A and B are shown apart, each in its own frame.
Chain A
């Protein structure tokens, strides 16, 4: 048996079960280090010294945390070189995602970074910090649709004694239809450039102060995709409520999966409840794959029938029966209020849809 080693710093013995043969207490102690001295930047080596490349985050000063999602944390940060405030998303999955998944993530994020659209959050930089990828994007000051869900759904629940509610309710439906049409056009723009979103849900639709929507997190869900068959959790407990059935089943997805998610968001805004609910994610998943959605009119007597039909068309289990493109969906939403108001009392009866 060999002599036990002693730590040169604290003098304690280094036990035999310490595989790295250094004093674990002194190492752990380094964790109390706080970056106040020099330009604490998380970089190991100076940029420029020996022509080293920088380790990504040097240029950003983190100001505060905005939110946390299933895969990481989003910060408000200042980009020092350009003196602008940005949103910085650290993806904390580095070691849990396979190298192939990380490479794919980078490719996807780089594809998403090419999208330039007023309703898509611009990506400024894709980088890596240690094993963890990060994304720098435009900061949208406002709140996500997830945070505003209640506000949008507020007047759902029709009480027949309150007739004066009807006009307010039609204004609400109109507002929702317009919002979704704008989002759908942005999605169609991305689809036309070969980028699928794959994880459309209220928390990925950011609303600026004028309530214009900005879609974010394009393609990012794919980080875990291949090995998980599923994408990721929502803000709270991983509700897969917005996921298309074929995606839930782990099959290949196309743009119609995003169309499904758009419909699921529309459904929730109109009725105040998700298309499928359940106590556990697995229950929801099963329903997504097996059950037909309850007609949204069941929850909202004042819901226009045509709008309900548009919504349900997105939620067809068979991708072929949905809108073929997000644009078609947007166009129907845009046409809908004209029909709605032309008839003034609605409902219009059932329109025929293209096969």
Chain B
């Protein structure tokens, strides 16, 4: 229902208003509300990290730089000075990161000594790191950033959907059916799954349909947090789609 409601929203009245959740958290960082910003870093680091990697920094340096960039966002109370007129959160982070890498990071590196805090845990970055970069070898750093952004978004939506299913004690259904989010299975596999889940074949199909629908809603809801107005959601989906092609 939320996704459909976006269509009926009155445009204009809020246009250009700066107030999505994520934006306001960045702004709040200017007031010292660091806890939420730290969470934001924990969510948004991957595209930033991969962008830095693509600019030629080695693994550890890229990790340090990602960390330093967020520390810079946190420490630099000048965030209040970020012109919040309009714009997407994604572009904001990318522009800030570029600016940071071009102008600020030497300064930040010296500043960070002594007071640096660990914001991101790198534990789950495995050695195949290099392999992950491989599909992107011909891409520009911006392209990688956007691709990573899209993948991160989908990954989070997938987790959210899983959590919702688990919360309704439907974990098994989710695990068995998630592969069909993107396309139907052969009739035979639906029959098999239906038998395994002790459901009718029709019920399995309805469930798949619902999972898809819900996935789509969650995608829109995620994106809604990073754009200025609901009218921009479709366009943001298109841009992310382009980044994946």
Contacts and interface: CB of A to CB of B under 8 A. Distances in A.
The 6 A-B pairs of least Cβ separation, nearest first, read: A227-B35, A9-B183, A280-B80, A62-B5, A33-B216, A31-B219
B110 interface: no
B17 interface: yes
Interface stretch (B63-71, B92-100, B128-136): B128-136
A322 B212 CA distance: 57
Contact of B36 (A9, A27, A224): A224
Interface stretch (B19-27, B101-109, B115-123): B19-27
A23 B5 CA distance: 27
Interface in B209-224: 210-221, 223-224
Interface string B71-83: 0000001001100
B30 interface: yes
B19 A70 contact: yes
B219 A96 contact: no
Contact of A7 (B34, B155, B182): B182
Contact of A40 (B39, B156, B213, B224): B213
Contacts of B212: 30, 33
Contacts of B135: 15-17
Interface residues of A, number: 77
Contacts of B237: 28, 31-32
A309 B154 CA distance: 57
B14 to A, nearest CB: 6
Max count, chain B CB within 10 A of own CB: residue among A68, A69, A98, A132: A68
Interface stretch (A167-175, A209-217, A229-237, A335-343): A229-237
B140 interface: no
Interface residues of B, number: 81
A30 B181 contact: yes
A294 interface: no
Contacts of A18: 151
Given A16-B131, A34-B7, 17 more contacts: A9-B182, A9-B183, A16-B134, A22-B179, A26-B183, A27-B215, A30-B215, A32-B216, A33-B216, A40-B213, A42-B1, A45-B168, A62-B5, A72-B21, A229-B32, A237-B27, A237-B84
Contacts of B230: 65
Contacts of B136: 17
Contacts of A60: 1
A256 B36 CA distance: 27
Contact of A238 (B28, B216, B245): B28
Interface in A297-322: none
Contact of B132 (A17, A68, A71, A131): A17
Contacts of B220: 31
Interface of B: 1-5, 7-10, 14, 17-21, 24-25, 27-28, 30-36, 39-40, 43, 77, 80-81, 84, 131-136, 147, 150-151, 154-158, 160, 163-165, 168, 170, 178-179, 181-183, 210-221, 223-225, 230, 233-234, 237, 240-241, 244-245
Nearest to B10: A64
B170 A45 contact: yes
Contact of A57 (B1, B241, B244): B1
Interface stretch (A87-95, A151-159, A268-276): A87-95
A353 interface: no
Contacts of A238: 24, 27-28, 30-31
A116 B215 CA distance: 39
Contact of A24 (B7, B18, B244): B244
Contacts of B84: 237
B214 A44 contact: yes
Given A24-B244, A65-B14, A281-B31, A57 B182 contact: no
Max count, chain B CB within 10 A of own CB: residue among A28, A71, A130, A226: A28
